[in-house]
Chain A
Amino acid sequence: MGIKKTALYDIHEQAGAKLIEFAGYYMPIQYKGILDEHLRVRKTAGLFDVSHMGEFEISGENAEQFLQYVTINDVSKLNEYQAQYSAMCYKDGGIVDDLLIYRYPDRFLMVVNAANIEKDFQWLKQHLSDGVQLIDRSEEFSLMALQGRHAPAIVQKLTSANVSEIGSYWFRDAEVADKPVMLARTGYTGEDGFEIMTAPENAPQIWKSLMKAGSEFDLEPIGLGARDTLRLEVTYCLYGNDIDHTTNPLEAGLGWITKLKKGEFIGSDAIQKVKQDGISRKLIGFEMKSKAFPRKGYEIYKDEREVGHVTSGMYSPILEKAIGLGYVAKEHSKVGTELEISIRGRKVSAEIIKTPFYKRPY
């Protein structure tokens, strides 16, 4: 199977993007450079192609019951045209994937990580029950994310929908640049903004219209490189780094989406036991005390003893210092704790600090 192109591939190439293979797609990793792009999103607005993400449609009379069983958040709390952050777990409490669920009047849409599309689909299929239809619609949608404080003003220029009426984690069917879309106030950057889902044939016109409408706000296209640094500053977990099949939601700080009171779901017994016994380790955020950079997999030490490992690490363009996330033993996980990160043979001081590292000022 060859590497797939999104509907926006030609536009990225013309814009001078560096395109790399990611999860089976050629994706723009950067245009001008990660630092520039990161700050552009924090200061005004940026436009991302995230069409590689997977979309599953779940419908039928037992769809809600099915989703209650396979995901950890409480789907019954979800109103029509509302979105919810959630995850799927294995029986042992390890995480299959983290995801968003969107509730339509007659169906649900689940958006999953690109690298996990096949695994997730097989997992859902295995647990499918009567009265539930599951369809992989990943190839039928393009997904764009317009993120940054000026995102609402930009979208408003291209739609008759009143975007100020769409609250955070709500969505609606709308037209943007005369094309039908799902317009959702969601994102992965910590900024205000929208995710716009549409048929691939509409994506180029919407992208171009948004770029044009956004020119007064210096809107720029943003690659996946900056998407990763943006999400890390606001400590959103990245599957494969900070969460995976070996981590449970409680130690990952995802207790707020783990609804043990809603009734039985896959993993609920194991997670209930973790809750009773207490977590043994915790995902923490830290900053380096000197110019040294933590990377995924580096060991974390406290008083010469290994107490954990780094799961994400990079230079924070906003804080202008090196930051990271990692799991450490519960007894060493308090804010203010001094740790050492083993950086290629050298132990360098770090301190656990309050997360998120960045909060938007508006």
Chain B
Amino acid sequence: MNIPKDLHYTEEHEWIGVEGDTVKVGITDYAQEELGDIVFIELPESGSETNRMEPFGSIEAVKAVSDLFAPVSGTVVEVNSALEDKPELINQDPYGDGWMIKIKLSDKSELDSLLSAEQYKDKIS
């Protein structure tokens, strides 16, 4: 199972990559594997607000649906529009081309409550 060391994680199986005061968000390798073939993803629009622990979108696999929970509060500054036509990118490259949104943090201290790669690994094993 691929769990990059330089990312942060949530118990809802999302990864968070910090780039200054902005974070990039996606779902983990474990999550895409559990979901199976992803066929559709519903993401918020650029400019919308996210609240920590509240749903910001949903992800549809062939047979199941899951909510996506915002790992941090802030403003959505970019959405990966490639996923609209190619949601399978999430299965193929969850930490790369399968990224979902970028959020400009409203409260940087929220990063402290995220899991490290080590902690996330314990969580799923």
Distance (whole angstroms) from the CB of B92 to the closest CB of chain A = 11
Rounded to whole angstroms, the CA-CA distance of A295 and B60 in the bound complex is: 10
B→A interface (CB under 8 Å): 33, 36-37, 39-40, 58, 60, 62-65, 91
> Could you say which of A30, A228, A229, A293 contacts B60, with CB atoms under 8 Å apart?
A293
Q: Does A33 lie within 8 Å of B40, measured CB to CB?
A: no
The contact sample of 23 A-B pairs, CB cut-off 8 A, is A30-B36, A33-B36, A33-B91, A34-B37, A34-B62, A34-B63, A35-B39, A225-B36, A225-B62, A225-B63, A229-B62, A291-B40, A292-B40, A293-B39, A293-B40, A295-B64, A295-B65, A315-B39, A315-B62, A317-B62, A322-B40, A344-B58, A344-B65
Q: Is A314 an interface residue, CB under 8 A from the partner?
A: yes
Distance (whole angstroms) from the CB of B4 to the closest CB of chain A = 23
**Which B residues are in CB contact (< 8 Å) with A344?**
58, 65
**Which B residues are in CB contact (< 8 Å) with A322?**
40
Rounded to whole angstroms, the CA-CA distance of A332 and B40 in the bound complex is: 29
Rounded to whole angstroms, the CA-CA distance of A317 and B88 in the bound complex is: 13
Distance (whole angstroms) from the CB of A230 to the closest CB of chain B = 11
Dominant SS among interface residues on chain B: mixed
Q: In chain A, residues 272-300, which have Cβ atoms closer than 8 Å to a Cβ of chain B?
A: 291-293, 295
Rounded to whole angstroms, the CA-CA distance of A30 and B64 in the bound complex is: 14
> Could you say which of B33, B63, B65, B91 contacts A229, with CB atoms under 8 Å apart?
B63
> Could you say which of A35, A291, A292 contacts B37, with CB atoms under 8 Å apart?
A35
- The CB with the most chain A CB atoms within 10 A, among B58, B60, B63, B91, is that of B63
Question: Which residue of chain B has the shortest Cβ distance to A316 in the bound complex?
Answer: B62
Distance (whole angstroms) from the CB of B122 to the closest CB of chain A = 22
Rounded to whole angstroms, the CA-CA distance of A274 and B33 in the bound complex is: 46
A293-B65, A295-B65 given; A33·B60 CB < 8 A:
no
**Which B residues are in CB contact (< 8 Å) with A292?**
40
Q: Does A315 lie within 8 Å of B36, measured CB to CB?
A: no
**Which B residues are in CB contact (< 8 Å) with A229?**
62-63
- The CB with the most chain B CB atoms within 10 A, among A293, A314, A317, is that of A293
Q: Does A315 lie within 8 Å of B40, measured CB to CB?
A: yes
Rounded to whole angstroms, the CA-CA distance of A315 and B88 in the bound complex is: 13
Rounded to whole angstroms, the CA-CA distance of A352 and B40 in the bound complex is: 22
**Which B residues are in CB contact (< 8 Å) with A317?**
62
Known A18-B33, A291-B40; further 9 A-B contacts with Cβ < 8 A: A30-B36, A34-B62, A36-B37, A225-B36, A293-B39, A293-B60, A295-B65, A314-B62, A315-B60
Distance (whole angstroms) from the CB of A168 to the closest CB of chain B = 28
Rounded to whole angstroms, the CA-CA distance of A33 and B65 in the bound complex is: 16
- Among all A-B residue pairs, the 4 with the closest Cβ atoms: A315-B39, A35-B37, A34-B62, A293-B60
Rounded to whole angstroms, the CA-CA distance of A315 and B61 in the bound complex is: 8
Distance (whole angstroms) from the CB of B54 to the closest CB of chain A = 14
**Which B residues are in CB contact (< 8 Å) with A315?**
39-40, 60, 62
Distance (whole angstroms) from the CB of B45 to the closest CB of chain A = 15
Rounded to whole angstroms, the CA-CA distance of A195 and B36 in the bound complex is: 27
Distance (whole angstroms) from the CB of B28 to the closest CB of chain A = 16
Rounded to whole angstroms, the CA-CA distance of A33 and B36 in the bound complex is: 6
